[in-house]
Structure 1
């Protein structure tokens, strides 16, 4: 067995210590159970830092590349302390034990599946898919095992599938953005996110979860195959799309996918000509996670807001309009940049003076028209799926136009001159402006039945 697979297997064995919590929960005093569940991981961390010598077989088994330089198993120690922290949250602060166990298991099994796959193929997409598939299976089985071990825990298949899929996709995304040594951070982040979703008590349908996962995975693969997104960008898109279809609906997904599809293809449109002009996106036009998240983070927040609408005191339709406005702004900005950059004689939006093509804040009438058309496409899809009338659809178009205008103004001021924020920050603020305009106008227009 190769070293990376052995190491992943050894970490997986350590991860099974998480089962101490469901075995003891409800059977002994809560404080004693808390200590008993966290102590094994703390002891492993102490052994990794103090007792395991660099020349020993255990060191060779668990050592990550950076550990050899330090002479200590910092990777194992960090992993164990992160698991101990989640155990503490589960037995002292209310995190569901099933979420804790599933989080630990999906990470270690996913890493093991990825390591084994990399010994067979060098294809990064296949290896990442193996991680996600292994993590998903481990997440589901971990929750089932907890229900069998702890009588106070019930097993709800739709919730288990949703949490496992969310955890697997989020872990895969974070690991593609971070380093291997950051797995403890991945574990903690996934655990906290799954805790949030578990506490929402969502009414889920198992068919919707599985179909939604299948649809978003297929769309993600298509975006990667067409080279409109990198692996990290593809994972970010799949994660956002999956949450959108589950927490929203297929209609919400259609609105989001319109941006991913049309926006991605617009980046490829006359790409060589853009490259000659110095305006082309890097990596042959494949958008990374930073670009995807900058354009979609506000939309995701709106989806989460809709799921928690009863808690925050705003009707769901307001969040839907905020979501659509953010997507329309992202679409408008992307098309105005990708199409408008192909034409000469742009003018700075703040002064209307002529500037070189590609200048931040420079606009052409062709770009403005393309951006406005993109916002109309988003509004049209929203209207088709939700039966919106002319006025609500116009609200989305106005929001899209407002968002791309804010993007240009910020590009001409804080991005280009002062250098206060980068392009991704500008994109985020533009989508936020679109969301606020759309949500605010929706409140003025009045209730809309979705």
Structure 2
């Protein structure tokens, strides 16, 4: 049986076939171009399924553990067919060929970098860093090389942004999926990078490097302080990168304040929270599901802001208040539960009856105050860092936080645990706050 490093290197070599697609895509006949672009990967898949027997040395190089049981290289075949599918999209539709090349190369070579890093140091974070760094570097280089071979033009800043985003998305998916799901990772990354390319982010190279560096440092700090699991860290880093590049530094300041202060509030008097039965699981380290539940609405607001007014015929500043409102709601919910849960005699928000600490929908006046302080922090950051927000905008964001906190408590008292779970409640609360921000901003003509 081959080593994981050798097998990853062999898959990387197959991924290198992606560089043949720009040449094939330039053929005059669309039908011929499609056949030429997909043929190398389809051939690999056919050989993997029918021509390479389990007794051969080639089989041993590419085989994953499950392939030995089946006697066929299903892993290699699935990877090659996923690449062929993306090649088809790049020729027949609007997926830029250089984006296709970058996707295949960053996933294939990122996996190789991860295996090499794991061989040198078994720490999971080191191995993941090996994937991200290698995938980012190779994906960027692949974008630029493919563009020079006739696969369209690409600005260096765009190549850096998409390669960094793709490497983080791929690493995140790989951290929560199995190795055999690499074809799904490849397809998902390719389609997401296509989406981000269509947003056409007009940013400079310096800003992308700043975004990558700051996000990585703060993400590792969150992991080192045990405020986030590895998937949670990757999710936070990805969201931070997208927020800086697509939104701006002021947007990022709000988001990172929530990540940082929210994580620290979870750690505050953690042992007492354990005694009360209200402590977060995993020593307070938030996973990707928790991070996304609190941030997915804000991320959608950033994407819509970047898409407007070119793709969405709406004033983009509307989405600023949606973003700030969602982040303020996430902060109020976290502060109110993490600090308010330390006090006795909470009351159910629907009936005002006394309930046990930690009861869904139970509130204390101390928790409400703490939540408003959290919303005030986000509102103050927005007023200081973003032009046009001002005092009126800050008060609006504060109100959004209060609405989100209230909706979270109401849902907790009525439907949490029966209709939706905790993460679903968090998402709905941030959505209510975002919609409040949009509606109020329009009503008072802040945009």
Question: Same fold, TM exceeding 0.5?
Answer: yes
Aligned to 2:226: 227
Aligned to 2:364: 364
CA contact 1:355–1:362 (8 Å) conserved in 2:
yes
User: Is 2:406 the counterpart of 1:405?
Assistant: yes
Q: Distance in 2 between matches of 1:7 and 1:361?
A: 52
* Cα RMSD after superposing both structures: 1.3
1:29 offset after TM fit, Å? 2.0
Aligned to 2:317: 317
User: Is 2:98 the counterpart of 1:103?
Assistant: no
CA contact 2:360–2:416 (8 Å) conserved in 1:
yes
1:97 offset after TM fit, Å? 0.2
User: Is 2:131 the counterpart of 1:128?
Assistant: no
Aligned to 2:35: 35
Aligned to 1:177: 176
1:2 offset after TM fit, Å? 6.0
5 Å-filtered alignment, 1:244-323, equals 244-310=243-309, 311-323=311-323
Q: For residues 315-337 of structure 1, give each alpha carbon's deviation from its aligned partner in whole angstroms, at most 9, with x where no partner exists.
A: 11110000000000000001111
CA contact 1:392–1:445 (8 Å) conserved in 2:
no
1:148 offset after TM fit, Å? 2.2
5 Å-filtered alignment, 1:188-203, equals 188-203=187-202
1:159 offset after TM fit, Å? 0.8
| TM-score of the superposed pair, with normalisation by structure 1 | 0.97
Aligned to 1:144: 144
Aligned to 1:392: 393
Aligned to 2:213: 214
Aligned to 1:383: 383
Aligned to 1:341: 341
| TM-score of the superposed pair, with normalisation by structure 2 | 0.97
User: Is 2:161 the counterpart of 1:162?
Assistant: yes
CA contact 2:379–2:398 (8 Å) conserved in 1:
yes
Q: Distance in 2 between matches of 1:260 and 1:111?
A: 28
Q: For residues 247-301 of structure 1, give each alpha carbon's deviation from its aligned partner in whole angstroms, at most 9, with x where no partner exists.
A: 0110110011110011000000000111111111111111110000010000000
CA contact 1:21–1:34 (8 Å) conserved in 2:
no
CA contact 2:2–2:61 (8 Å) conserved in 1:
no
Aligned to 2:115: 115
1:210 offset after TM fit, Å? 0.6
Aligned to 1:415: 416
Q: Distance in 1 between matches of 2:337 and 2:446?
A: 34
Q: Distance in 1 between matches of 2:116 and 2:28?
A: 39
Q: Distance in 1 between matches of 2:76 and 2:328?
A: 45
Q: Distance in 2 between matches of 1:409 and 1:179?
A: 38
CA contact 2:25–2:37 (8 Å) conserved in 1:
no
Q: Distance in 2 between matches of 1:414 and 1:64?
A: 45
Query: Secondary structure, in 3 states, of the residue corresponding to 1:119?
Result: helix
Runs in 1 of length 4+ with deviation above 6 angstroms? none
Equivalent pairs counted in the alignment come to 445
CA contact 2:345–2:354 (8 Å) conserved in 1:
yes
CA contact 1:332–1:401 (8 Å) conserved in 2:
yes
1:353 offset after TM fit, Å? 1.1
Query: Secondary structure, in 3 states, of the residue corresponding to 1:32?
Result: helix
CA contact 2:254–2:382 (8 Å) conserved in 1:
yes
Q: Distance in 1 between matches of 2:143 and 2:114?
A: 21
Q: Distance in 1 between matches of 2:201 and 2:341?
A: 44
CA contact 2:201–2:245 (8 Å) conserved in 1:
no
5 Å-filtered alignment, 1:87-98, equals 87-98=87-98
Which ranges in structure 2 are unaligned for 5 or more consecutive residues? none
Q: Distance in 1 between matches of 2:421 and 2:82?
A: 33
Aligned to 2:436: 437
CA contact 2:298–2:323 (8 Å) conserved in 1:
yes
Query: Secondary structure, in 3 states, of the residue corresponding to 1:376?
Result: helix
